[in-house]
Structure 1
């Protein structure tokens, strides 16, 4: 695109580069501070500068900022590996890095996969990264718009595609069609998007090459051992899983738990979103007078063991075991929806034929929630009181309804591979 970037964006990019150069000590301080709770933030610091990793020429670069984005990338990464490609995966958060390192242990040992930190937003850092990996192309999962990443990829002639992309309504309205962030998206080599609505939004801000490929999370592999362990542990009474609860929601969920338990003997499985919050939220649940058992204390590493009698809450203080918790459920509440930041992924519980409830802030999962609500397999509720009433009512869809919905939306992986081929022509 010959007029990219326009002068206003060019000036903003100069200012952004200056801020990052001057602010690098603050970025290092941020990592140090986060590392006080999670030491992995301190590890492999050279990779933040594009250094320290083993060169892997002509790899496919997949950027998945954290755990959720990595999970959506897994079926595509598996397909790329199946085609004989080598893949470098970049993350910003330790949760994403730990998960990808665990999932691809064998492939890392065989030299097919590398997992590294995404470089700092500085041109020299990305120059080092591109020198070590010379990617054929890059795939940025979901909605990540990093100016220096985009401009460095263009400078080094690395086609960079948005993948599994959506443009949430709040972000679309905020950016406007001529805002700097909207203009910056024109720097991508193309977009592989979730739905026709998303394609129209990206086109409106000037993204020219777009392929509608669907949602990769519908193709996620399901770990059979976790599912078997969850089903084996499930008690006879009702089980509700509150998955990926985020900061600011805990009081409301605790009030809903108490309201439901006044009516029916129900076991709640409570899984916070971030491991840094595990101890804090556990204490909050105890202070509320609920009888709680921590997964880390009552179950072994391989998920064997038994639940103590009479507990109200099984507390999910572990990472990478979401399918274990979901397999226990009769119904699932997906977190984030009672916070302006927006709800999290509803596809994992639906994959196990579990009805889903979520709060009112659903702009982050516009697709596939609109379609899921129309199919009757998921529902958004306005507040915690309505959530408690819905859990008490147990007006659940059938497994056949959920199966039909899932079948209608699967198959994004081959469509994405075809879309990449089309965009690279």
Structure 2
């Protein structure tokens, strides 16, 4: 373990001065970028004052949680729900509109009565954070996952706000790359008051950077609430439209994977037909909404039959009805004759996952790295990921070890689907895995208490 060193070092201080100068010069360009992005997504440019840290002064001190976008918000949900049970209000900061709006949607009552405020994170310079801190007077701050910035850390230290990394990770590729750079996140990580990480592997990396206040708390996504309305809707839809047909959900598929993934589906369907077996139904869910129409075109080019979720189901995930008879309406669509249902919606991942017998999670079939697999595992669905899992070392390593996850490329998936059962993991294996890795929220709060009150335990 590296010995803790004086933070920040002389070299880091020099780079931070340059960083502040770059921010001063580039701020007009950043504002122009938000204005340009706002042409397509107006929410990017709305509430611009928040990005300068401008808010009305609050009467009470807040707990501050930074969750940059939707994925980090999902990680933070169990923690936010627990913190809202206490008297201290919570403020969450986000860079993207998706993160900000998700909080509004998930916690409407707490937002309405002022116990929870969602806003954009201040620009990464001291004056913006000074205004933000003056308005909310944070008791402490929690940064979710790995999205932290030099100005955020240094401003927190300057203005006396203890800042902790929560549900933290340092992916292997980023860690190795940052170690070799003159200046990187690795140089500012020691500015945290403490870090709470997902696994021993992650803890070892942070200790190598000179941090001695490290706690292993697991993955809070295993504690996130499951939307029961989505689960019920999925079970109803599967019974009505799919019967006993095997179903495979391909979730969070990204640019660079679609063509190969759809080629794989075409080969699987052809092999099943040749063997006289019932073809599986694939639920295909692109990661980005702007890909919905593009993927639909690729599916058509592959001569695969499909229907869009938006054509089949209404906003409440009920079968769209023209006759008033669900069986008649679903027969018109003939789901059982399709190869693919294209998931062209946001915020319904649990619905898509509950439909399936097996989940294939995207991102890892290209260099971008796999997306999180906690959601299907929480639903007790066996998971297949691609070769590039460096982005989810936890829980991928543990899931592989427990036998509830397989790591395959597309050619290997074809063999797996044709020659092996879809549900390759037993109930006992899934139960053992979930029992071993749940409770991250309670562990996080306990570690936070230890960090802030080291003599209380």
Identify which of 378, 381, 384 aligns with 2:410: 384
Which aligned pairs between 1:233-272 and structure 2 lie closer than 5 A?
Answer: 233-234=237-238, 235-236=242-243, 237-264=245-272, 265-272=279-286
1:58 deviates by: 1.1
Which aligned pairs between 1:354-373 and structure 2 lie closer than 5 A?
Answer: 354-373=381-400
Other structure's SS at 2:87 match:
coil
CA distance change for structure 1 residues 284 and 27 in 2, over 3 Å: closer, same or farther?
Answer: farther
Does the aligned pair in 1 maintain the 2:200–2:216 contact within 8 Å? yes
1:211 deviates by: 1.3
Other structure's SS at 1:36 match:
helix
User: What residue number does 1:296 align with?
Assistant: 310
Does the aligned pair in 2 maintain the 1:222–1:323 contact within 8 Å? yes
**Aligned counterparts of 1:275 and 1:53: Cα–Cα separation in 2:** 34
Q: Which runs of 5+ in 1 are unaligned?
A: none
1:177 deviates by: 8.0
Q: Normalising by the residue count of structure 1, what TM-score does the alignment of the two structures yield?
A: 0.96
Does the aligned pair in 2 maintain the 1:336–1:344 contact within 8 Å? yes
Which aligned pairs between 1:4-403 and structure 2 lie closer than 5 A?
Answer: 4-52=7-55, 55=58, 57-176=60-179, 180=183, 181-234=185-238, 235-236=242-243, 237-264=245-272, 265-305=279-319, 308-309=333-334, 310-381=337-408, 383-395=409-421, 396-403=424-431
Q: Deviations over 1:88-117 (max 9, x none)?
A: 111111222222110011110111101101
**Aligned counterparts of 1:49 and 1:2: Cα–Cα separation in 2:** 33
**Aligned counterparts of 2:374 and 2:71: Cα–Cα separation in 1:** 11
Does the aligned pair in 2 maintain the 1:143–1:166 contact within 8 Å? yes
Between Structure 1 and Structure 2, whose CA radius of gyration is higher? 2
CA distance change for structure 1 residues 75 and 56 in 2, over 3 Å: closer, same or farther?
Answer: farther
**Segment drifting more, 129-138 vs 390-399:** 390-399
**Aligned counterparts of 1:64 and 1:243: Cα–Cα separation in 2:** 22
**Aligned counterparts of 1:226 and 1:74: Cα–Cα separation in 2:** 17
**Aligned counterparts of 1:4 and 1:164: Cα–Cα separation in 2:** 23
Other structure's SS at 1:348 match:
helix
CA distance change for structure 1 residues 193 and 56 in 2, over 3 Å: closer, same or farther?
Answer: farther
User: What residue number does 1:407 align with?
Assistant: 435
Moved over 6 A (4+): none
Q: Normalising by the residue count of structure 2, what TM-score does the alignment of the two structures yield?
A: 0.89
Q: Which runs of 5+ in 2 are unaligned?
A: 273-278, 321-329
The root-mean-square deviation of aligned C-alpha atoms, in Å, is 1.7
Other structure's SS at 1:164 match:
strand
Q: Deviations over 1:135-162 (max 9, x none)?
A: 1011000012300011111111100000
**Aligned counterparts of 2:99 and 2:381: Cα–Cα separation in 1:** 25
**Segment drifting more, 194-203 vs 35-44:** 35-44
User: What residue number does 2:325 align with?
Assistant: none
1:408 deviates by: 1.0
